[in-house]
Structure 1
């Protein structure tokens, strides 16, 4: 089970790296700023999944996701992609939100199990 949890988080992180580093042709009618929503959501899902799988490591996963997003933004030009400050902001806010939701969920579950 331990390796399944690890593999789940690594798979999510690898998926984020793939779509962040390689050109994916989106429809031209994509609303402005919609990529920021995708960045936010990807990092929220990454950290929230990690938080649910390992509740005691939420802070570690949140900080790691922010650093991971920063690294990806910094190396994007080597993959013929443009790095953007707003992508970094969306990544970081998504990671922080995922961590906050993770804390809330784990506290709620802990409270419910103690009350039973």
Structure 2
């Protein structure tokens, strides 16, 4: 596959994950449930396309996604949800886990 086409597909996949994660982060939540695992999983999945993508964009886009995870928590009180630091931390953990898993696979699948 041509490199440019691959980068385009990776970008589209990452944007789709970010849009879905943003919508889910701003939707009403059952107040009695902890959602930390969902935060980790969502941001893990959101960073994977970026983490396997172009080396030059990997770190800037991962940092942008980490910042977005914090911004979402700041915005949540304006949409009827309660943002908190532990949710932001779970978002960051998801991004870091995704980067770590991608790094492990890239390193161990080189021929």
TM-score (norm 1): 0.80
Distance in 1 separating the partners of 2:81 and 2:24? 11
The answer to whether the 8 A contact 2:29-2:81 is kept is no
Question: Aligned-pair RMSD on alpha carbons?
Answer: 1.8
Query: Which consecutive residues of structure 2, in runs of 5 or more, have no partner in the other structure?
Result: none
Deviation beyond 4 Å, 4+ runs, structure 1: none
- TM-superposed CA distance for 1:23, in Å, is 1.1
Q: How many residues align?
A: 105
Instruction: Kindly state the Cα deviation for residue 72 of structure 1 after the two structures are TM-superposed.
Output: 0.6
Following superposition of structure 1 onto structure 2, how do residues 1-116 of structure 1 map, counting pairs within 5 Å? 1=5, 2-25=7-30, 32-33=33-34, 35-52=35-52, 54-56=53-55, 57-110=57-110, 113=111
Q: Normalising to structure 2: TM-score of the pair?
A: 0.83
- What secondary structure, in the 3-state scheme, does the structure 2 residue paired with 1:39 have? helix
